[in-house]
Amino acid sequence: MSIAAIAATLDPADPEIRDEARDLAGRFEDGSVVGRAVRTMLDDVASGTKIIVLRSDDEVTPAQAARMLGVSRQFVDRLCEDEVLAFRRLPGSRHRRVRVQDVLDVGAERERRRAGGDALRAAIGDLDA
């Protein structure tokens, strides 16, 4: 089945797809990490949320990477230029492609730094009190 066929099949705007996802999620009782992830995806489809599943070695454009990170495409370009985010150029082109895993790694690092900054601000605030 092609990607387009899968995307059309799981259109969360279709009430029948949403009902099927809700029914399957209700019968899905696997408590494993994988089971919880699948149940979450089914619940999201049932509620009308669009789900995109990517493999870690899939590649995305800088614009898609920016959407994943919640930043601008220009910021992703800067991350690439500063060698924070690995990329490859398409042959004979200036266009870039970024591995999904590399985007996730950069996102996780940004979250760790943000959490560390929040902890420092809280500690400094405690000292001022």
Q: 100-112: per-residue pLDDT in tens?
A: 999 999 999 998 8
Q: pTM for the complete prediction?
A: 0.66
Class of domain 59-128: mainly alpha
Cα–Cα distance between 67 and 33 in angstroms, integer?
Answer: 26
Q: Which pLDDT belongs to residue 107?
A: 93
Cα–Cα distance between 74 and 84 in angstroms, integer?
Answer: 14
Residue ranges covered by each domain of the chain: 3-46, 59-128
Cα–Cα distance between 81 and 86 in angstroms, integer?
Answer: 9
Strands 59-60 and 88-89, how do they pair? unpaired
Reported as a single tens digit per residue, the pLDDT across 24-52 is 888 877 778 888 888 888 888 889 888 87
Handedness of CA 82, 88, 91, 93 (dihedral sign): negative
